[in-house]
Structure 1
Amino acid sequence: MTARARTRTLSVAAAAAALAAVTAAVPAHAVGPARSARPAALYTPPANPDANAQILDLARHGRLQDAAGVLAMTLTPQAVWFDGGGTPADVRTAVHTTVASAARRHALPVLALYNIPGRDCAQYSAGGAADTADYEAWIDAVRAGIGDQPADVILEPDSLALLPSDCGMDDAQGGKTAERYDEIHYAVDALEPLAGTKVYLDAGHSGWHSVNDIVPRLISGGVDDAAGFFLNISNYRSDGELAWYGKLISSCLSYVAGGGAAASCPNQYWPTADAQSWLDANVPAAPSAMKHFVTDTSRNGQGPWTPPAGVYSDPQDWCNPPGRGTGARPTLNTGDPLQDAKLWVKIPGESDGQCTRGTAGPDDPERGYQDPAAGKWFPQQALELARNANPRLLP
C-alpha cells in the first residue's frame, strides 16, 4: 500500500470514528410501543444517500456540530415519496417494502403520493401519470402494496390547490380539472377503506387560497370520504397560522355538509374574534365529527421568508428561501382535537427546484449560485435548516 493510500485509509477511518461519535451525540427517537392497528410512533425511512455523504464529509473535516445537526435531521421521522416510474409490480413492491419495514419497527409510515397527471402544472416538479387510466392503475398498485398494514397517505400535494384551470392547462370545457377531481376521488375510494389507512387531501396553505375557495375543491375531490386534508406541504407557514386555517377549513366543511354555503364561511383574513363568533353560532359539531388535518412542519421553524421589497419580479418565496430552519418534531399527539399530526413530509435538505426569482438565471440571485434540481440534495440548504432549527435539533 502506498503512503498516499495509507493516508486516505486513515482519513476515512478517522471520519468514520468521528461519525460514530456524532451518532452517539444525537438523541434517539423512540420506536414506540408494541405493534397495534395504528402505531403511536412515526416511521423514519433511510436517509437520502447524498445526505449521508454530506454528514461523512463534514465529520471528516472536523465539523462535528454541523455533521450532528444534519444527522439529527435525517434521523427524524419523515415521509416516503412515491412519484411514479416503473411498472405496477415495481410500485407495489416499493410501497410494500416501506410499509413492511415500518411494521417491523412498530411505526406508522407516511406515504406521499405524487403522480397525478399534469403534476405541478408542468413546472419544477413536472411529470406524473400519462392519463387517468395510467393513474388509476398506479393507485391500484399502491393499494396492493399497502395491503393490511397501517399508513397515513398524503395524497398528491398541489393537486387541488393547483388545478389545471389555475395554470392554463385546462380545455374550454374544464375537462382537465374535472378529470383531476375524478382522479383524486378514485384514489380516496381505493385507499381510505384499507385497514389502518388514513387519506388526506391537498388544502394548500394559509398564504395561498382562502377558506372559501379551497373548501369547494376539497369537496369535489372527495374529502367527505377521506380522513381529512393536509396543509403546508413543502412550505413555511407558522404552526399557529396553520392551526387556525385548518380549524376554519374543518368548520366550513362541517357547515357545508349541513347545507350551508362555503362562500358564507369566515376565512383566514377575518378578524379572529369575528370568525370565532361565527363558528360558535354556526358550527355546533364536535371535533370528533369534523374532518381532521395534518400539517407539514419540516421547514417552518423560522416561518415564511419575506423577500426584499421591489427587488424581484417573482420572488418565489416558496422556492429554497434562505435562512429557514426545521420546525416542530413529527408527532401524532398535537394537543389539537382537529389536528391528527405534525409531520415532516417534505424531506429537509432536498431542493425545491432551480429558483431564479424572475431573473434570467440560471443562478438563484439570493444565493449567488444555481440551486439543485427539484428533489436533489442541497447541502447548503441542509446546513441552514439544521443550524436554524426551531426547536433545536441538538441539546
Structure 2
Amino acid sequence: MTAHDHAGSNGTPSRTSRALRPLTVAVVAAALAGSALAAAPAQAATSAYVAPPTALYTPPANSDANQQILDLVRHRQLKDAAGVLAMTRTPQAVWYGDGTPDEVRVSVHRTVVEAARHHALPVLALYNIPGRDCAQYSAGGAADTPQYEAWIDAVRAGIGHLPASVILEPDSLALLPSDCGQDDAQGSKTTERYTEIHYAVDALEPLAGTKVYLDAGHSGWHSVNDLVPRLVAGGIDTATGFFLNVSNYRPDSELAWYGKLVSSCLSHVSDGGSAADCPNQWWSVNDAQAWLDAHVHAAPSAMKHFVTDTSRNGQGPWTPPAGVYSDPQDWCNPPGRGTGARPTLNTGDALADAKVWVKIPGESDGQCTRGTAGPNDPERGYQDPAAGKWFPQQALELVHNANPRLLPEAAGPKPVR
C-alpha cells in the first residue's frame, strides 16, 4: 500500500542565507540555494530536439524537508542537517494525483521541460486511479473511468515529445478492487480497473520519449503465477515493463530474482504458455533456474524490463513483534528503516532498467495504528503525520540507517585549534 501527496519547494534564498550565515555552513547553504534554484519556473523549450538523458531528475524538495534542515542547522545538528539534505537532493519521482486535467498538464509539462534542460530523465508517478488504495490512507483518485481517461489525456499532452519514465498507478494491479471487497458480484470494478490501466498504457507508451511501467507489487506479496495474469490484463504487452517495491522494503537481490521470474513468465505466456506453469519466488533457486533454462529462450532485449524502488529498503523489511498487533501494518511507517541503493540507470542487470526512489523518503505513509484503537502509532508512541506529509522523525531514521550511507564516513576527529 502507498501514501503520497505531490509536494514542491518553497526555498527562499534570503531566509536561507540569514539562517546559515552565523554558522557558516557553506555546504548546506550552497545545497539549499541550489534547491531554491531548482524550484524556479522551468523555461520554455527552444527546440524540438532533446538530447538523451544522462541522469535521473531531482525535483525540488518537500518544503517541510527544507524547514527541517534549517531547524537542524539552527540547533547545530550539522551532520543530521547534511544527511537530510543529501537525501532530498537524491533523484526522486514526481507524484501526480487528484489535480484537474488542466493542472496536471501544466505541472507535468513544467517537470519534463525542466528535466530536459538538465539532460535528466524525470520519473513520473501517476496516482489517480478510481478507488485507489482501496479507500484507505491514500484514498482518492478520479471519480470514474471517463474522468480518469481525461486526466491521462492531460498527462499525455503535458509530456509531449520529451523524455519521461512513468510509474503507472502504484497498487493498481497488486491491489485490485476484488482484493479488498470493493467489487460487485459481477467483478465490474476490477474490469474497469483493467480498462483504465490499459487506456493509460495505450495513451502514453507511444509517445516518443516515454516508457511506461505497470504495477507488479513486490516479492513478498503476490506469487508470480498470480501477478502475471494481472499484468497481461492491464496491457503489459504494449508497455515497456513493470515496477517493483514502491513504498516497500524488500531487499535488492530478492527483487532482482522476482523481477527475472515475472519477466520470464511473461515471455512464456506470450509464447502461448500458461502462467500457472511458471516458477514462483518460493521455488528453490535451482529448480526455478532449471525451468527457465528449459522454457525461456528470448533475449533480454525482447523481454519485459522492470524498475525497482530502493528509496527505503536499505535495512530490508521490518519484522513486527510477534503476537502484539492484530494488524501490524508492516508497510506503514515501520521503525528503523533506511534509504537504499542510489537511483541509477546503470543497474548491471539486462532486465532492470533502473533503480529509482519512487516513494519520497521522509514523507509519511499515513496515520498508522497497527490494529489498535489509535490515534497513536503504538510503535512510536505518538500520532504519525497524514499520508504524504513530511515526517521529521522518520526522515532522520532513514538517514541514520541508510545503506549505503548518504554521507561519506568521517576520516576521524580533526584537531581543535
TM-score, with structure 2 as normaliser: 0.89
SS of residue matched to 2:121: coil
Could you say what secondary structure the match of 1:153 adopts? strand
Percent identity at matched positions? 80
Q: For 1:281, what is the secondary structure of its paired residue? A: helix
Asked if 1:85 corresponds to 2:83, the answer is: no
Instruction: State how 1:1-395 maps to structure 2 within 5 Å.
Output: 12-14=18-20, 17-22=23-28, 37-86=51-100, 88-395=101-408
**8 Å contact kept, 2:122–2:164:** yes
Q: Deviations over 1:163-202 (max 9, x none)?
A: 0000111111000000000000000000000011000000
3-state SS, counterpart of residue 325 of structure 2: coil
SS of 1:135's partner is helix
User: 1:18, 1:217 → 2: CA distance?
Assistant: 55
Q: How many residues align?
A: 381
**Is 1:91–1:145's contact at 8 Å kept on the other side of the alignment?**
yes
Q: Which amino acid aligns with 1:21?
A: V
Distance 1:15 1:367 in 2: 35
**Preserved contact between residue 351 and residue 375 of structure 1 (Cα < 8 Å):** yes
- Residues 60 and 254 (structure 1), Cα distance of their counterparts in 2 relative to 1, 3 Å cut: same
Rounded Cα–Cα distance in structure 2 between residues aligned with 1:228 and 1:332: 15
Deviation digits for residues 39-64 of structure 1 (CA, Å, limit 9, x no counterpart) = 12000000000000000000010000
Classify 1:10/1:347 alpha carbon distance in 2 versus 1 (closer, same or farther; 3 Å).
closer
| 1:135-185 Cα deviation digits (max 9, x unpaired) | 000000000000000000000000000000001111110000000000000
- Given that 2:50 and 2:116 are in contact with CA atoms closer than 8 Å, whether structure 1 keeps it comes out as no
SS across alignment from 1:173: coil
Aligned AA for 1:275?
A
The question of whether the paired residues in 1 share the 8 Å contact of 2:52 and 2:119 is answered with no
What is the rounded CA distance, in whole Å, between the counterparts of 1:119 and 1:64 in structure 2?
A: 39
- Distance across 2 between alignment mates of 1:25 and 1:102: 18
Q: Which amino acid aligns with 2:96?
A: F
- The answer on whether the counterparts of 2:126 and 2:166 sit within 8 Å (CA) in structure 1 is yes
Q: Give distance in 2, aligned partners of 1:79 and 1:56.
A: 23
- Whether the aligned pair in 2 keeps the contact of 1:82 and 1:113 (CA below 8 Å) is yes
What is the distance in 2 between the residues matched to 1:264 and 1:393? 42
Q: Secondary structure at the match of 2:120?
A: coil
Report how far residue 85 of structure 1 moved: 1.8
Provide the residue aligned with 1:3 in structure 2: none
Classify 1:350/1:16 alpha carbon distance in 2 versus 1 (closer, same or farther; 3 Å). farther
Q: Shift of residue 19 of structure 1?
A: 4.8
CA distances 1:72-123 after superposition (whole Å, capped 9, x unpaired): 000000000001223x221110100100110111100000000000000000
Cα contact 2:87–2:406 (8 A) shared by 1: yes
Letter in 1 for 2:391: F
Alpha-carbon spacing, 1:241–1:229, altered in 2? closer, same or farther (3 Å): same
Residue 18 of structure 1 and its aligned partner are, at CA, apart by 4.5
RMSD: 1.9
Counterpart AA for 2:320: P
Aligned partner of residue 345 in structure 1, secondary structure: coil
Return the letter of the residue paired with 1:50: D
Q: TM-score, normalised by structure 1?
A: 0.93
Residue 4 of structure 1: aligned partner: none
Residue 282 of structure 1: CA displacement?
Answer: 0.5
Q: How far apart, in 1, do the equivalents of 2:189 and 2:122 lie?
A: 31
Say if 1:19 and 1:46 are closer, same or farther in 2 by CA, change over 3 A. farther
Query: Relative to 1, partners in 2 of residues 1:270 and 1:10: Cα closer, same or farther, differing over 3 Å?
Result: closer
Distance in 1 separating the partners of 2:22 and 2:143? 45
Question: C-alpha distance in 2, partners of 1:240/1:198?
Answer: 24
2:179 partner amino acid: D
Q: Secondary structure at the match of 1:341?
A: strand
SS where residue 366 of structure 1 aligns? Answer: coil
- Aligned AA (2:317): P
Q: For residues 308-337 of structure 1, what are the alpha-carbon distances to aligned partners after superposition, in whole Å with 9 as ceiling and x for unaligned? A: 111111110000000000000000000000
Asked if structure 1 preserves the Cα contact closer than 8 Å seen for 2:311 and 2:361, the reply is yes
| Aligned-residue offset at 1:36 | 5.1
